[in-house]
Amino acid sequence: MKINSLLLITGNAGKLEEFKTLLNIPGFKMNYKSLDVTEIQSLDIEEIGHFKTNAVLECVQEINDYDAVITDDTSLSCMALNGLPGPLIKWFLKSIGREGILELVNNKDNTTIATCLLTLGILKNRQIIQFQGDVKGKLVSPQGNRGFGWDQIFLPDGFDKSYGEMDPDKKNAISHRALAVQKFREWLLN
């Protein structure tokens, strides 16, 4: 393996468990930590991930027990809104909610791409590597009560259930995060 230990930068313990399940490498040392680092606001998810991971690499005392750190950024890009909310989805949800987002795309092309960008920062050489997973779908009225954020309004192409209706195992098999983690796993093991 290219690295033997990883620190996931998140305040969400559930995200660590999801990541471990998706990664599925027995014995791989992995933990999580919430770090208060500056996050830029941009429509470019790769720029956000790169900036944030570099900021985390500056927190030497917090991360020095690990070979690498990884950050996780999400984007929801609606074609009718020229790619918005994109990586600003957290702020759109906070200010106008799911219903507000649906109103913005009402009677328009509701084709949407859900993106997860994992940005890996290797401590010894400060190398940054990014792994992106995209799932195309559309926005629908809220369905289901699972997940969080916009899960209830995102219907992935080829499925008849929103992320919010899917069994967690099913969602973990097809989600944008699952695709990004799979790319990271392939890099790690090859």
Residues 69 and 123: beta-carbon distance below 8 Å = yes
Q: Does the CA dihedral 139-145-149-151 come out positive or negative?
A: negative
Q: Could you give the number of structural domains in the chain? A: 1
Mean pLDDT of the chain: 94
Domain boundaries, position 26: 5-189
List of residues 6+ apart from 50 with CB closer than 8 A: 119, 128, 130
The answer to whether the peptide bond before residue 85 is cis (omega within 30 degrees of 0) is yes
Helix (H) or strand (E) holding 69: strand 68-78
Res 51: pLDDT: 97
Mean pLDDT score, 3-12 = 93
**Banded pLDDT at 147 (limits 50, 70, 90):** confident
Mean pLDDT score, 1-7 = 92
Residues 7 and 33: beta-carbon distance below 8 Å = yes
**Banded pLDDT at 13 (limits 50, 70, 90):** confident
Helix (H) or strand (E) holding 137: strand 128-139
Res 43: pLDDT: 95
CATH of the domain at 17: 3.90.950.10
- The residue with tokens 């080829």 is 158
Mean pLDDT score, 151-159 = 97
Distance CA 64, CA 54 (A): 14
**Model confidence pLDDT, tens digit, residues 98-130:** 999 999 999 999 999 999 999 999 999 999 999
